[in-house]
Amino acid sequence: MISTTMATKLSEQINREIYSAYLYLALSTEAEEINLRGTAAWFMAKHGEEMAHALKMVRYQLDQGAEVKLAGIDGPPAKAGSILAMFERTLEHEQSVTASINDLVDHALSEKDHATGIFLHWFVTEQIEEEATVNDILGRLRLFGDKGEGLLMIDNELGAAAKAMAQASASAAAA
């Protein structure tokens, strides 16, 4: 059983994860509207991952006998305007999620809640990967540009990455 405070903090994180999914859905539609289908698919895959993160936290709370408290989700910000701005927004968002996860870990440690600390370890590792991936995409965008052939190359790479994420997700669900 986890503390009421820990359960509240986890519920708040569930809402952040759902907001992340909502943000990625908005970015996916924005990319689709400018015919960047690979980028749109990548953001849609991220949408699915964020929903899976939220559900993982819901399951943990239920398994711990804690009440899950869901709140309203704010709408995503206005359109980013360019693929570079989309990924700059993505990095900024992922950094805020990392800070939030770290705060949860700190709270679990302060309560000597070892089960939650161990549970959150997966999310800490996931955030390292999330930020590294977005930093890599931003590096490519800055190197090759977000116009013309460079953009086409990056869009194709993101489409291939989205397919790989979907296959990994399907494999995990089947296991």
- The tens digit of pLDDT for each residue in 119-139 reads 999 999 999 999 999 999 999
Residue 146 has what pLDDT? 76
Other CB atoms within a 10 A radius of the CB of residue 53 amount to 22
Domain boundaries, the chain: 4-174
The CA-based angle 51-129-140, given to 5 degrees, is 105
pLDDT class of 144 with cuts at 50, 70, 90: confident
| In contact, 97 and 133? CB cutoff 8 Å | no
Q: Which helix (H) or strand (E) holds 157?
A: helix 148-174
Q: First-to-last CA distance in the chain?
A: 27
Nearest residue to 109 via CA among 4, 23, 8, 6:
6
Place of tokens 């699915």: 48
Alpha-carbon distance of 12 to 9, in angstroms, equals: 5
CATH 3.30.420.310 fits 4-174, yes or no: no
Burial-class residue 28 by CB neighbours within 10 Å (0-12, 13-18, 19+): buried
Amino acid at 113: D
DSSP symbol at 67: P
More confident residue, 68 or 166: 68
Q: Rounded to whole angstroms, how far apart are CA atoms 43 and 4?
A: 34
The pLDDT of residue 38 is 96
